[in-house]
Amino acid sequence: MSEKIVIIGAGQAGAQAVQSLRAEGFTGAITMVGDEAYPPYQRPPLSKAYLLGQLERPRLFLKSDAFYAEAGCELLLNTSAKAIDRAAKAVELTDGRKLPYDKLLLTTGGRVRKLRCPGAELPGIFYLKTIADVDALQAAFLPGKRIAIVGAGYIGLEVAAVGAKRGLQVTVFEATDRVMSRAVSPAMSEFFGAEHAKAGVTLKLNTGVEGFEGNGKVERILAGGQAYDCDLVLVGIGVLGNDNLASEAGLACSDGIVVDRNAMTSDPAIFAAGDCTRHYGREGIELRLECVQNAIDQAKHAALAMTGKPKDYSEVPWFWSDQYDLKLQIAGLARPTDSLALRGDPGQRKFSVFHLRDGKVAAVEAVNAGQDYMIGKKLIAEGKPVEAARIADLSVPVKNLLT
């Protein structure tokens, strides 16, 4: 093959695409463009083991340097794409170079949502998305320091757990009435809120942030009509899909690059995968997911389509979060109208919540209950009816829910 494939974005989806393209027999040229100094690396450990100091930087990388050389993938790091010329089928880089392509894959990921309030630009206010972000945070992330965390989602609570372990005084400010409100059921929110309180974390729920004050650096956070002293701030209020490059090129975008079930954009020569995409989920609903699973599976489907073997994307999404010695694993996508079945005892710190819709499992949340998670994921994929009473009955082995 003399075809050229260019990948914009050196993250999880980009790395998977290189592997899958070669596995599917593509022998043409592959070039990957990444705006960071590093080849593709894992992001989930950044707010957990890497921040805690239990994972060294080299172990973050998804592949060795030798992998890209052996795969014949040219890596252009510390390099950004400026524009896509669809008519000429070329990508213009910020340094003026132009990369011709036969097929283009956009794996541009996401960017942190920034606070826009008085004092939001003060030094000492951090966000967490990259290796550089964590390295910058580490200098201030010291025992005895008072850290204010804005947002009680995955990132906020994972950093809170690490901060509590490392001896910081942690206060979390959350605008809604419960932690992880967008991601988990009320029962799970209550459990994790109590666990953080036991670890010494102060939770300020229903408390919106109005601004920050300080002389040369952040010294106070203004929230809920009060001022709280702090030494540093970590903001974790969500991620936006990086669809600017695609939008400026005239591709269909709507809170993400719109793709079909084969990861194809509105231009048949351009594909997209990962956090930057808005795609059709298993139930035919358009959505944008921020998770490792979607990045991996969508990149695989993009590779299949680019090599002439299209296969509709219909994978079960999964997520996880590590906080203290608790592993939260989630499969499927819940809705507020789902009925819930509790399996196990939260007091034992090992339990699960199954979400039922039309008599079938639509999602499962499991804490330190890996088998519940795996069986729940299979039940979602197979769409088998199951009764709530049977799920809750611990005398029924969880694997028997499949039969």
pLDDT in tens, 90-117: 999 999 999 999 999 999 999 999 999 9
Q: What tokens does 328 get? A: 């939260």
Residues 317-327 pLDDT 10s: 999 999 999 99
First to last CA, the chain: 48
| Length of the chain, in residues | 403
Q: Is the pTM of this model over 0.85?
A: yes
CATH of 4-111+239-306, one of 3.40.50.2300, 3.50.50.60, 3.40.50.720, 3.30.70.20: 3.50.50.60
Residues sharing a CB contact under 8 Å with residue 375, sequence separation 6 or more, in sequence order = 398, 399, 401, 402
Hey, what are 244's tokens? 């600017």
Cβ–Cβ < 8 Å for 343, 352: yes
Nearest in space to 173 (alpha carbons), one of 223, 216, 111? 223
Please identify, in words, the CATH class of the domain defined by 125-235: alpha beta
CA distances (Å), origin 20, targets 51, 208, 295, 376: 31, 44, 13, 28
Position 282 scores a pLDDT of: 79
Tens of pLDDT, residue by residue over 325-345, are: 999 999 999 999 999 999 999
Neighbouring residues of 75: CB distance < 8 A, sequence distance ≥ 6? 10, 32, 34, 39, 68
The tens digit of pLDDT for each residue in 20-65 reads 999 999 999 999 999 999 999 999 999 999 999 999 999 999 999 8
Task: Look at residue 109 in the predicted model and tell me its pLDDT.
Answer: 97
Tell me if 374 sits within 8 A of 380, measured CB to CB: no
Task: Identify the pLDDT of residue 382.
Answer: 95
Which residues in the chain are classed under CATH 3.50.50.60? 4-111+239-306, 125-235
Alpha-carbon distance 145 to 142, whole Å?
6
The percent of residues above 70 in pLDDT, for the chain, comes to 100
H helices present in 201-291, as ranges: 244-248
- Rounded CA gap, 273 and 282, in Å? 16
- CATH code 3.30.390.30 region(s) in the chain: 325-402
Residue 355 corresponds to which tokens in the numbers above?
């979400």
Q: Looking at residue 285, what is its pLDDT?
A: 83
pLDDT value for 1: 54
Whether the Cβ atoms of residue 214 and residue 119 lie closer than 8 Å to each other: yes
CATH annotation of 325-402: 3.30.390.30
Q: Which residues of the chain have pLDDT under 70?
A: 1
Give the containing element (helix H, strand E) for 27: none
Residue pair 105/271 in contact by the 8 Å Cβ criterion: yes
